[in-house]
Amino acid sequence: MAISPTFAKIACVVVVAMVVAAPAAEALSCGTVSSSLAQCIAYARSSGGTVPTACCNGIRTLNSLAKTSQDRKDACACLKSAAGRISGLNLSLIAGLPGKCGVNIPYKISPSTDCSKYDYSLLF
């Protein structure tokens, strides 16, 4: 079967478009999630009080980066594993963080969160 020049051109455009679009479609990485919340760790290890502005900014940034349901699900998994990995965190302080920053997160950030239970297309 001969490939027509028109088909070859279209195929070429499609391949280039896929290559160009690929980085934008990349899932939210755990590194991004952790660095967004780095400013919250000292607060989460403290005995409460005022949430640092930088921490709330990080939470809001994360919330705005997690646009798709898959991003939100990935973010949940990253938060869950970070909550389990970082020692000395006061989990009740962490659970209250999104609310204190005015961000609505449907799940509790905790090592025991079941990230598969939530419908991320409806929430946030």
Site residues (CB under 6 A) for ligand NAG?
47-48, 90, 92-93
Between 6 and 47, name the residue whose CB sits nearer to ligand NAG: 47
Residue with smaller CB distance to ligand NAG, 60 or 100:
100
Q: How far is the CB of 47 from ligand NAG (least distance, A)?
A: 5
User: Within its chain, how far is the Cα of 37 from the centroid?
Assistant: 10
Nearest distance from C-beta of residue 89 to ligand NAG, angstroms: 9
The least distance separating ligand NAG from the CB of residue 40, rounded to whole angstroms, comes to 14
Nearer to ligand NAG, 37 or 51 (CB): 51
Q: How many residues does the chain have?
A: 124
How many other C-beta atoms are found inside a 10 Å radius of the C-beta of residue 44? 22
Residues 72, 66: contact at Cβ < 8 Å?
Answer: yes
DSSP code, position 68 = S
d(CA 42, CA 18): 42
